[in-house]
Structure 1
Amino acid sequence: VSIIIPTKDHPHILSNCIHSVLESGNYRDFEIIVVDNGSNEQNRARIERMRDMLKEDFRFVYHYEPMEFNFSKMCNLGVSLATGDYILLLNDDIEITQDNWLEKLMEKAVLPHVGAVGAKLIYPGTEIIQHAGITNIHLGPAHKLQFRSDALEFYFGRNRMAMDVLGVTGACLLVKKSIYDQAQGLSENLRVAFNDVEFCYHVYEMGYYNVVRNDVTLTHHESLSRGADDSTEKLRRLHQELNLLYELHPSLYGTDPFYHRYLVKDVLDAEFYTGCRYDFDKRVEKVSPEKIEGVLEPQWHNEVLRIGVEFAGDMGRWQRGTAGAGTGDWMIQGWTWALQVDNCRYDFSLLLKKVETGYIAPGSSTEALPEDRGEVWRIPCTRQFRPDIDENLHGIVHTELPGVCVTFDRDSLPEGDYLIGFLWEDTCSRQKLYRFSPEMLTVRK
């Protein structure tokens, strides 16, 4: 097995990963290849010292090549240096916590019909699941059971046994090198996100079954290397890569052969509930944007509001996975809730604020409050039942109705980019709250 570990500027995290690999289990027939895309000189020297301090039989190959972050390219580069018959892609923020982990992964990987093999990943210091296989739902690839406690058993042992799945995460992905080569590796057009998912979809379409071994539990210090997708720029790139995923695999849009068609697939619910829990045809409402005259009052801006946008775009993309020019309404689906207040006291509306040239997006190093520029449209909406959100908000008062799902005419807004936010209005006083998220709706005619 050739273990490929991409890394940059986290020698302490990398050290924890490598030593946990070297110290666990009896399976010793592996090599470790570290691909570094540009650590600073101090961290590069630390990694080289780490390598040189190991006994010769345990030393890893260290390939240093400064480049823009491209996870796929780094993995493919590592595979080009590999001598093993099997490839294991491993994040540098993975910690091995089970002695027989590699033996169990190999038990499945050697089978002739098996493609990619993954493990169950847990958040550090907890029993909370991060990954137990990837399910392909209407909104895209989803980590079912994410944020659920592994102390419980879910859906007929879904988090206990080996399962056929459409995909596994590249944070820990084992595959025959012959299959990796046949699939031409990870797509380098997907630099950051969905490259592992696209690889698994490709392997499935080649005729192999991907497997997650949920009897193998590892710890994942998620996204320590590249950070979270929490700015407008990162979210735009994330959506572009999601769109590319389904352009490459259109037949898999909204379907998963290992996930029953009558289970939830229209929202990012982490569990395996029946689809009638969210009946899209009954949830979606047709609305009309109303332009707000004047600006939002700066004192209304409040960080207590929390916003999630699950979909914002052309209705044609929601229905088919690809958007045709001028073929459907615009659609926005998501949720909002607030800290430190009784959520049921408020009515809320969607806000769309047109981004002017030169606007500084939230999340940048020089963030500007969004109320000081741009035209704003208000979109009335009905608060919707979202038990999946409520179940994760322990201690927050009355969050049973945080959902929104609206469509509106293509011609109701001028062309441009619009930040998505919410306006909250207290029904018991004159208080108003608003906040914009980094998510955007791009309107093109």
Structure 2
Amino acid sequence: MAAKNPDLSIVIVSYNTRKITHQCLESIYRSFRSYRSKDTPSFEIILIDNASAKDDSAAYLADYAQKHKNIMFVANKTNLGFGPANNQGVKLAKGDYILLLNSDTIILKDAIHKLFSFYRKNEHTKHFIGPKLFNKDMTPQPSAAPFYSLPVIFGALFLKGDYWGLTRFSPKTLQKVDWIAGACIMTKKEYFVKVGGFDETVFMYMEEVDLLYRAKKMHMNTFFYPKAKMVHLGSASSNGRTFPILQVYRGFLFFYKKHHSKSALFFLRFLLRLKAGLTWFLGFVINNNYLKHTYEEAFQVAGQ
């Protein structure tokens, strides 16, 4: 008799995050051991090492997977990027339901159970859902947001929009939103495939915004579900402080080239260059080499 497919496939992509990925995996198993009920889903984990270049991640995670029968481990020979590697994992998934989970997340209590139970009851009206995320110090992490219109981008660049809740926020109640952080997204495999998965031309940053923008255009809804709670350490696989900033710039440009008019793209470039120029000048005044170097590069990226 053929084995029954799992209810839920958890896709995790790891890149140079051996210890953090181990912590994430342990939190998943701890949660399922501690909070079992009749509604507890059967699950598998699709664990993908994205050609980690240090800390013996691939060998360590392969060994970990051998000790857990419900882990499928894949070691990529090249770093495909966040989106393509997640697409790869979804293709391998046997479950009808998908949980896209960053390797730098920690499951708190029965978060996955709550997400799954709520989602399965509402899957026809709430197509993509995400939990409430917390920083390491347990302060709420802004992880729901409106799409990046020019006013929203202005707020993000010049007004500390996340701090004031203008750009990203962390609601206290169930709320329909434009997009949720890619650190944790639950959906049906059917929906993910229908939308087209992550755009594989994006290496890192803005994948989830693009995915959920396309979903909204197909009349699919995204919801923030705060009863499920997780810790998201953030940027664990990014290289240094400069790389994430440049990737955010590239992400904005990608999104506007794909979804907006040429005139909107022109104004976006203006905002990005203005931010880069002003911050470079600040670095020059206070003799901060990091600011000068980073935002000189950012200014160049804005023109690409």
TM, length-normalised to structure 1: 0.55
What's the counterpart of residue 3 of structure 2? none
AA aligned to 2:256 is Y
Deviation at 1:250, TM superposition (A): 2.3
Aligned to 2:175: 163
Q: Which residue of 1 aligns with 2:118?
A: 107
Q: Could you say which residue in structure 1 is the equivalent of 2:190?
A: 178
TM-superposed CA distance for 1:51, in Å, is 1.9
Among 18, 23, 30, the alignment partner of 1:11 is 18
Between the aligned residues of both structures, percent identity stands at 21
Structure 1 residue 434: deviation in Å?
Answer: 4.1
Q: Which amino acid aligns with 1:18?
A: L
Pick the aligned partner of 1:206 from 206, 210, 218. 218
After superposition, the CA RMSD in angstroms is 3.4
CA contact (8 A) 2:127 2:222 kept: yes
Choose which of 45, 50, 64 in structure 2 pairs with 1:50. 64
- Residues 114-129 of structure 1 aligned to structure 2 (within 5 Å): 114-127=126-139, 129=140
1:63 is matched with which residue: 74, 82, 91? 74
Q: Secondary structure at the match of 1:174?
A: strand
Which amino acid in 2 is paired with 1:52? Answer: Q
Deviations 1:400-425 (A, max 9, x none): xxxxxxxxxxxxxxxxxxx832278x
CA distance in 1, matches of 2:19, 2:254: 34
Residue 93 of structure 2 aligns to a residue whose secondary structure is coil
Question: By how many angstroms is 1:137 displaced?
Answer: 4.4
CA gap 1:124/1:329 in 2 versus in 1, 3 angstroms: closer
Provide Cα deviations, 1:174-215, integer angstroms capped at 9, x if missing partner: 111111111110000111010111001111111011001122
Shift in CA distance, 14/222, structure 1 to aligned 2, threshold 3 Å: same
Which structure carries more helix by proportion?
2
CA contact (8 A) 2:115 2:186 kept: no
Deviation for aligned residue 1:146: 4.8
Secondary structure at the residue paired with 1:3? Answer: strand
Give the AA of the match of 1:420. Answer: W
Query: Which has more strand, going by share of residues?
Result: 1
Structure 1, unaligned stretches of length 5 or more?
A: 150-156, 252-316, 336-349, 352-418, 425-431
Aligned twin of 1:377:
none
Check conservation: 1:161, 1:213, Cα contact below 8 A: yes
Residue 230 of structure 1 and its aligned partner are, at CA, apart by: 1.4
Asked whether the 8 Å contact 2:115–2:131 carries over to 1, the reply is: no
Residue-pair matches, total: 274
Alignment check: 8 A CA contact 2:144 2:224 kept: yes
Q: 1:172 to 1:421 in 2, by over 3 A?
A: same
Does the 8 Å contact 2:130/2:224 carry over to 1?
A: yes
Aligned equivalents of 2:293 and 2:67: distance in 1? 47
Secondary structure class of the residue paired with 1:4? strand
- In the alignment, which residue of structure 2 is the partner of 1:20? 27
Partner of 2:9: 2
User: What residue is the counterpart of 1:422 in the other structure?
Assistant: 282
Q: What is the one-letter code of the residue matched to 1:134?
A: A
Report 1:276-287 matches (<5 A): none
1:28-427 matches, cutoff 5 A: 28-39=41-52, 42-54=56-68, 56=69, 59-108=70-119, 110-127=122-139, 129-139=140-150, 146=162, 159-231=171-243, 235-250=245-260, 320-323=263-266, 333-334=274-275, 420-422=280-282
Q: Separation in 1 of the partners of 2:283 and 2:24?
A: 45
TM-score (normalizing by structure 2): 0.78
Q: Is the 8 A contact 1:105 1:118 kept in 2?
A: no
- Quote how far apart the aligned CAs of 1:87 are: 1.2
Q: Which has the higher contact order (CA 8 A, sep 6+)?
A: 2
- Counterparts of 2:117 and 2:211 in 1: how far apart (Å)? 19
The alpha-carbon distance between structure 1 residues 147 and 69, as it changes in their structure 2 partners (threshold 3 A), is farther
